[in-house]
Amino acid sequence: MANSNLMRIEVVYPLPHEQLLLETHVPEGASLREGILASGVLARYPELSLDTLEAGIFGKLATLDEPLRERDRIEIYRPLIADPKAVRKQRAAEGKRMKRGGGDVESDEG
């Protein structure tokens, strides 16, 4: 039963151990905030709060007031554990090289 006044959207919340993807419907003209609320992700993950979370639409950071369009994908971003620039700077200071994929290169010395 399709309602022409509803839009289909997805809400994605990536976790280290799972990729949560919720599909829901919101009224035309709904905001990013309303999409998050309609998805039920806040009830499922109580550590999330609209006051502090960062979210975007298709990889582009957006405000909670951003209007949604049909088939938009809302992405809820987790805070970084470490600043990638700071990690690279620290590795350079320690004289470590990095291999592709981000791990340390094994030393032949030793």
pLDDT digits (tens, 9 = 90+) for 14-59: 988 888 999 999 999 999 999 999 999 999 999 899 999 999 999 9
Q: Which residue range(s) make up the domain with 69?
A: 6-77
State the Cα–Cα distance between residues 97 and 18, nearest whole angstrom.
Answer: 30
Do residues 53 and 35 touch, judged by C-beta distance below 8 A? no
Q: Residue 48: inside a domain, yes or no?
A: yes
79 closest CA partner among 53, 106, 109:
53
SS3 42: helix
* CATH for 67: 3.10.20.30
Query: pLDDT at position 57, please?
Result: 97
Residue 1 has pLDDT above 50, yes or no: no
Please say whether the beta carbons of 73 and 19 come within 8 A.
Answer: no
pLDDT score, position 91: 76
55 within domain boundaries: yes
Count the domains in the chain: 1
Higher pLDDT: 87 or 35? It is 35
User: Could you tell me which residue, 92 or 57, shows the higher pLDDT?
Assistant: 57
Question: Considering the domain boundaries, does residue 10 fall inside one?
Answer: yes
The answer to whether residue 56 is domain-embedded is yes
Residue 106 lies in a domain: no
